[in-house]
Amino acid sequence: MKLFIYHTPELTPTDKMPACAIAVDVLRATTTMATALNNGAEAVQVFSDLEQLMGESEKWPADKRIRAGERGGAKVDGFDMGNSPLDCTPENVTGKRIFISTTNGTRALQRVQNSPIVLTAALINRQAVVEFLLDKQPETIGIVGSGWEGSYSLEDSVCAGAIAHSLLTKTGISATDFAGNDEVFAAMALYLQWENQLHQLLKSASHGQRLLRLGVIEDLKYCSEIDILDVLPMQREPGVLVKSDGQVF
């Protein structure tokens, strides 16, 4: 396995897709997706364009859909929910499709949607992603951070580092053979510095600060927890993610 980490969608090459691509948006899209699928959502369908989301979701019965829209950390007017994982309770999401558009996370997914295998990862489901990679041993892995409007984000990098460190520890591959770019070393160093203070790191990050100003406190606590969900979101068709049992679609 050879791992590449890209901090933003804009830094991700498009000429050659990795065998397995992993989109990361810890605050909060991929945390929300993992939580929704874990709690019984039928699927999560992602959109960058809000009008397209509205049009596509109209094809589904109102009682079988949830429209989730977020811009700048806040819920879009007229949508059922924003981008809070804590809204994805079993009572709210069981049997429903989540139609979601967020500021950054949907762009990361669209950047890599043509890879043979596409997963989403957050801190909360880090180990489920690692176990899949150890089982399937894809030749190349690309982790794409969502960042914030094209710029670097601490929370996505620390998640990428957490995945990389666990893979490296469990495989015993030498770091120089394992790392496809320098970003892998940087992300692992960040994780090792903060692995016992992930909540503090997320609160210190620029997007964490933005969410705190919006009063989003409990989400930050939840998003900073690690390995609490055994759920593997996988793309079944472009833009549509479902809960996988580890088998490739």
> For 47-106, how does the pLDDT look when each residue is reduced to its tens digit (9 = 90+)?
989 999 999 999 999 999 999 999 988 999 999 999 999 999 999 999 999 999 988 888
Residue 245's SS3 state is coil
Please answer whether residues 31 and 86 qualify as being in contact, where contact means their C-beta atoms are separated by less than 8 angstroms.
no
Give the whole-angstrom CA distance, residue 207 versus residue 227.
Answer: 22
CA 176 to each of CA 43, 158, 163, 184, 192: distance values in angstroms, whole numbers, following the listed order: 38, 19, 16, 10, 18
If DSSP states are collapsed to H, E and C, what string results for 9-56?
HHHCCCCCCCCEEEEECCCCHHHHHHHHHHCCCCEEEECCCHHHHHHH
Give the chain's length: 249
Element (H, E) at 154: helix 154-171
Place of tokens 């989109």: 23
**Across the chain, what does the average pLDDT equal?**
96
Return the percentage of the chain with pLDDT > 90, whole number: 91
In this structure, how many other beta carbons lie within 10 angstroms of the beta carbon of residue 119?
Answer: 26
- The per-residue pLDDT for 97 is 98
The token duo for 211 is 């969410």
212-226 pLDDT tens trace = 999 999 999 999 999
Q: How far is CA 208 from CA 10, 16, 72, 83, 200, in A?
A: 21, 33, 12, 14, 10
| 46, β-bridge pairs | 100
Model pTM score:
0.96
